[in-house]
Structure 1
Amino acid sequence: MRGETALERLSTTPSTTSQWWVIGLCMLFNVIDGLDVMAMAFTASRVAAEWALNGAQLGLLLSASLVGMALGSLLAAPRADRFGRRPLLLAGLLLSGLGMLLSFWSPDHHVLMFLRLLTGIGTGAVLVGANVLTFEHASPQRRNLAVALQSLAFAMGASLGGVLAHGLNDLMGWRYVFLAGGCITLVAALAGVFWLRESPSFLALEHRAPIPPLSPDDVSRPFSAGQWQQTLSLALALFLLMFCFYFVMSWTPALLVDNGFTDQQGARIGMLLALGGMLGALFLGLAANRFGCRRLLSGFLLLDAALLPLMVPASHVPGLAALVAVTLGLMLNGAVAALFVLAPQAFCTSVRTTGVGVVLAMGRLGAIISPVVAGFLLDAGWTAQHLFMFFAGSQVLAVLLIRRGTRER
């Protein structure tokens, strides 16, 4: 196909300034995505206090954007294979920006929940679009690094969102966190209108006129003969990885406090997990060309499985707990970055965004149910050690899926 020829032609040339400009814009969009997604987590206590929310109501608020991200990845992505990656990105930024902005005027938690759902749909579309656009602009010598940097940018956005939220919460109130996030997102969308370029491989495709209406077949194409095994393996592997990732990020500080840590020590472990995460994405991007992304992913997942059962015993030695936390964060985020690199490789240009959308949507599903499953198991009498061992098993299963069902190009 002409799209694949364009991608191969790009593979023979080094990355240019204009290509890195697009990749940099996609990184900026992912930074803002991270800020938008985490805004609710950073304001949850203030929102709950203002509207006297119970745990179930607050949980729904926190989950709404994750549900939206899954919908955005699954339902919006096929349109990018028909109309372009650039329109998907810009529409996603516009929707998430408006969702954040309107949240400032939310009269109650029902309206805020709906707006968080819309924000999530927008951010889900942006994540898919940025991943594919970066893959299709970067030369192969820098492609792994460029895609991995998108994962790092999302984590950086979540961290910067915490700093922004802390300041605005204390000075002006939780609503201004959403107001600031919405304005920043809409300014980024405006920058994209002027400076974001479409994928060369998408432009090279032979378009049929008129374009037929979207149908259920567009989502089913990643499961066609010869393709379904890779799609299913990547999707289930990301589901299991995000299932473990969100357990570790959501529950580890609290579980360590229950095992003797102070609140400050628990919070410090959470920060070390995030710091290790950014280092993991960068390491993957730099090392993937030399060692192979698929091989690194298998190693990261196996090390995750080995480190998780050590978290509770290490809690009795604070220095050791910090080392385990940084290493575990590095491995988990390195594995996420590796799957983000492998996903666009698995699909041809005409179905790439749809396929990546299916994979990322399954990952979001794992993120949504992970904290709930952990809470249910704790209520059923499981100990922290049992939980860490259970989630370690999910990583071993992910390794088997990757080794049996995927290939690297």
Structure 2
Amino acid sequence: MVQNPREEMNNKTMNGFQWFVIGICILLNVIDGFDVLVMAFTAASVSAEWGLTGAELGALLSAGLFGMGAGSLFLAPWADKIGRRPLILLCLLISGVSMVAASFAQTAMQLGMMRFVTGLGIGGILASSNVIASEYASLRWRSLAVSLQCTGYAIGATVGGIIAIALISNFGWRAVFLTGGLATLFMLVVSYFTLPESLDYLLVKQPKNALERINVLAKKINITPLQQLPTVTMTSEQAKSGLARLFSPKLALQTICIWFSFFFVMFGFYFVMSWTPKILSANGMTTEQSVTAGVLISAGGMFGAALLGLISSRIRIYYVQAAFLALTAILIWLFVNSTGSLMIAFILALFLGMMSNGCVAGLYAMSPAIYDADVRATGVGYAIGFGRVGGILSPLVAGAFLDSGISSLVLYGYYALAFVAAIIMVLSISKLKNKETAQLHFQQPTSA
């Protein structure tokens, strides 16, 4: 029998090295969370300094998301070609340098350009680190591992909000961008010395010295070393280019559903994360109170992503994800009606953060399981990239509605519907996976 390291890794108990790799991925997401939402926390200060309209501020908020979409679409697929590790290192350099440059911006146009470049790097990091976390986890704990990786985003956003409050008060908004850039460059150094390449990538792509590198990892993971590299056979379907492969007969419907799942969730999520402090401030809260509410939403995300992962180790993730989506829609409606009571608003902000961040974590946990290793980063990258289209449109649509005089109650109601639409997509993926599993079980006896 040909040895299968991936199968052995799937069924073994996870050891300290595997959790260490997932820990590095969490730290990468901490940096990303800080870098992404720094614009939301500095929005009021930037807007006041340059006298921006709602539409102009919305464009600034969307610039980073636009870059993230481009990074997910055009940079992340290279992780399937050159490796997960090299791409992450390159993207950390891009993000760190552009964040530092953003702190010296003198116009909204300059800041927007730097936000786009930062987004490019973050888009590549998010997809690749998500895939590494999935590939280093055993089958039982995969959803938890990816969900924990997603908590890093909420941790970064929470720490970013706390740091932003202190830095803006003492040094101005530029100091927040400078701090984020230096932290990103520091993480580049940490990753260079500690982040390993994906075992799945080495097995499938077999780059130079692949056998030696695999066996070094095998010793650390505590699985059986290989005597020789496995033979890689390529079917006609696998010979297709990355994007064409995603729309092969086997994957097309699942690809469409996961894309639109990301789109709807990102459309609602980035409205909640990007516009909540600004809207609360416009509805009577002080700048500090509104930013605090935003921080609480991010803080709730730290628990929500982990909670989803824990539940998913016992209940099928598609059903857990659907429940989180439904609760998020309900909490959005409750939150916007609670602004008259500061304490209730803060409590609901915490729970809204738990559920909405849990929804994002669920998508990151679901998406790698759809694709094989040779196209996994491409599949996840394109799904995230399509989701970024929703994230890009979200602040722009919100800014236009607010400028037209629409009430925040009605606006939040519209955005709650996005999470309801995502439920349909997630349950459709579940149905397709059930059908795929049934076909495999049917075919196995005939091939014996």
TM-score of the two chains, using structure 2 as the length reference: 0.81
What letter matches 2:426 in structure 1? I
CA distance in 2, matches of 1:238, 1:146: 19
Alignment counterpart, residue 290 of structure 1, candidates 300, 304, 314: 314
CA distance in 2, matches of 1:74, 1:159: 27
Identity of aligned residues (%): 42
Give the equivalent residue in structure 1 for 2:335. Answer: 311
Flag structure 1 segments of 5+ consecutive residues without an equivalent. 210-214
What letter matches 2:250 in structure 1? G
Shift of 1:147: 0.6
| 1:303/1:112 CA distance change after superposition, 3 Å | closer
| 1:362/1:105 CA distance change after superposition, 3 Å | same
> After superposition, where does 1:329-348 map in structure 2 within 5 Å?
329-348=353-372
Give the equivalent residue in structure 2 for 1:243. Answer: 267
What letter matches 1:127 in structure 2? L
CA distance in 1, matches of 2:333, 2:25: 36
RMSD: 2.9
Give the equivalent residue in structure 2 for 1:220. Answer: 244
CA distance in 1, matches of 2:138, 2:87: 22
Flag structure 2 segments of 5+ consecutive residues without an equivalent. 209-238, 438-448
The answer to whether the 8 A contact 2:157-2:298 is kept is no
Give the equivalent residue in structure 2 for 1:146. Answer: 145
Does residue 38 in structure 1 map to residue 62 in structure 2? no
The answer to whether the 8 A contact 2:161-2:291 is kept is no
Shift of 1:359: 1.1
Deviation track 1:69-119 (CA, whole Å, cap 9, x = no partner) reads 000011111111111111111111111111122334445443332222111
Give the equivalent residue in structure 2 for 1:91. Answer: 90
Shift of 1:159: 1.5
Shift of 1:54: 5.0
CA distance in 2, matches of 1:108, 1:265: 27
> After superposition, where does 1:319-334 map in structure 2 within 5 Å?
319-334=343-358
What letter matches 1:182 in structure 2? G
The more displaced of 281-290 and 322-331 is: 322-331
What letter matches 1:237 in structure 2? S
TM-score of the two chains, using structure 1 as the length reference: 0.88
The more displaced of 378-387 and 124-133 is: 378-387
Shift of 1:384: 3.3
The more displaced of 49-58 and 233-242 is: 49-58
Shift of 1:57: 4.2
> After superposition, where does 1:179-194 map in structure 2 within 5 Å?
179-194=178-193
| 1:252/1:100 CA distance change after superposition, 3 Å | closer
Shift of 1:23: 1.1
| 1:358/1:109 CA distance change after superposition, 3 Å | same
Aligned length: 402
Give the equivalent residue in structure 2 for 1:166. Answer: 165
> After superposition, where does 1:81-160 map in structure 2 within 5 Å?
81-160=80-159
The more displaced of 10-19 and 386-395 is: 386-395
Shift of 1:222: 1.5
CA distance in 2, matches of 1:384, 1:53: 20
Does residue 301 in structure 1 map to residue 303 in structure 2? no
The more displaced of 150-159 and 377-386 is: 377-386
The answer to whether the 8 A contact 2:325-2:422 is kept is yes
What letter matches 2:201 in structure 1? F
What letter matches 1:346 in structure 2? I
The answer to whether the 8 A contact 1:14-1:141 is kept is no
CA distance in 1, matches of 2:189, 2:327: 42
The answer to whether the 8 A contact 2:336-2:408 is kept is yes
Give the equivalent residue in structure 2 for 1:360. Answer: 384
Alignment counterpart, residue 394 of structure 1, candidates 413, 418, 439: 418
The answer to whether the 8 A contact 1:5-1:201 is kept is no
Give the equivalent residue in structure 2 for 1:271. Answer: 295
Give the equivalent residue in structure 2 for 1:22. Answer: 21
CA distance in 1, matches of 2:57, 2:317: 38
Shift of 1:26: 1.1
What letter matches 1:126 in structure 2? I
| 1:51/1:344 CA distance change after superposition, 3 Å | same
The answer to whether the 8 A contact 1:256-1:312 is kept is no
The answer to whether the 8 A contact 1:259-1:312 is kept is no
CA distance in 1, matches of 2:307, 2:360: 12
What letter matches 2:138 in structure 1? S
Q: Larger Rg: 1 or 2?
A: 2
Shift of 1:383: 3.5
CA distance in 2, matches of 1:115, 1:79: 22
Shift of 1:324: 3.4
| 1:98/1:252 CA distance change after superposition, 3 Å | closer
| 1:49/1:316 CA distance change after superposition, 3 Å | closer
Shift of 1:347: 0.6
